[in-house]
Amino acid sequence: MRIDVTRVRRAFSRAAPAYDAIATLQHQVEAQLLGRLDLLKDAPQRVLDVGAGPGRASAAMRKRFPKAEVVALDLALPMLREAKARAGWWKPFRRVCADARALPLADASIDLLFSSLCLQWCEDLETVFDEFRRVLRPGGWLLFSTFGPDTLTELRQSWAAVDDDPHVNVFIDMHDIGDRLLAAGFRDPMLDVEHYDLRYSDPKLLMRELKGIGAGNADAQRARGLTGKRKLATMLAAYEGFRGADGRYPASYEVVYAQAQAPDASQPRRRGGTDIAAVSVDSLRAQLKSRRGGS
């Protein structure tokens, strides 16, 4: 699946004002991930929240770690404008609009990198994990959550009864995520999965909710234009097969939780199966000075 990043940015920008009121599951997953901060033995000095949205987790971590500098980073600028209300006036957390694939931060400058339900919108996890490793100090912690492939399986199967076009985002398996963390050099990655089952009186309410939080179809190969009434009716008819005994319609979510530590600085970074050399500027200057002196 190829992610249309421009569409993702626009969708979450439009959703920003109403996001907090609708994103019930997102808040629950975020709270679960925040609970895992108990594994930290020492309080971090610098914290980065990637995909911070309206800043709930950033505010919670600033409160938990009052001496730390907290940076809220998001692709959608309107989300960060919403976060301003939570930033506070006394030592407010910083807000940065940027892409997770190109973090505007110095190497080894972050002690804790936190990201809740953001990575499913990042197509190139290899680049993202390499960036995460680059900005984390050796031994720094990475905590994140993302959706697994069983997410919205009822909606996906119902659309499959209509045509072969991608209507629902495809998410990466937990084992593939673990393999990519290892390939990026992260130490001792631990991953687990939790399943959530939401219920709706009408499948159209689910679709409205997804649109309302900006979580629509971001597949670059999706069909353009409005969905015809006949196709929508066919999909809804197929969804009837999932209706429970209580008359309500399920929407399944598979959430992957992960934690890992950045390796020692001596371990080379890898991208595309190739080591990336890491040489300090001071070291290069010393080598050049030595060569000039010996010539």
Q: What is the pLDDT of residues 22-76, one digit of tens each?
A: 999 999 999 999 999 998 999 999 999 999 999 999 999 999 999 999 999 999 9
CATH number at residue 121: 3.40.50.150
- Per-residue CA distances from 164 to 170, 180, 203 (Å): 14, 29, 20
Nearest CA to 109 out of 129, 134, 139, 144 is that of 134
List the domain range (segments joined by +) for residue 143: 5-148+170-202+252-294
The predicted pLDDT at position 252 comes to: 97
What is the number of structural domains in the chain?
A: 1
Q: Is residue 27 part of a domain?
A: yes
Distance CA 154, CA 158 (A): 6
Q: Is residue 216 part of a domain?
A: no
Residues in Cβ contact with 192 at an 8 Å cutoff, skipping those fewer than 6 apart: 174, 256, 257
Q: Is residue 109 part of a domain?
A: yes
- Per-residue CA distances from 262 to 19, 56, 125, 127, 213 (Å): 32, 25, 16, 15, 32
Q: Is residue 257 part of a domain?
A: yes
User: pTM of the entire structure?
Assistant: 0.88
Residue labelled with tokens 């697994």: 148
Q: Is residue 35 part of a domain?
A: yes
Distance CA 38, CA 64 (A): 11
Q: Binning pLDDT at 50, 70 and 90, where does residue 281 land?
A: very low
Q: Is residue 128 part of a domain?
A: yes
Residues 212-241 pLDDT 10s: 999 988 766 666 555 678 999 999 999 999
Nearest CA to 105 out of 138, 132, 67 is that of 132
**What percent of the chain stands above pLDDT 90?**
77
Distance CA 187, CA 136 (A): 12
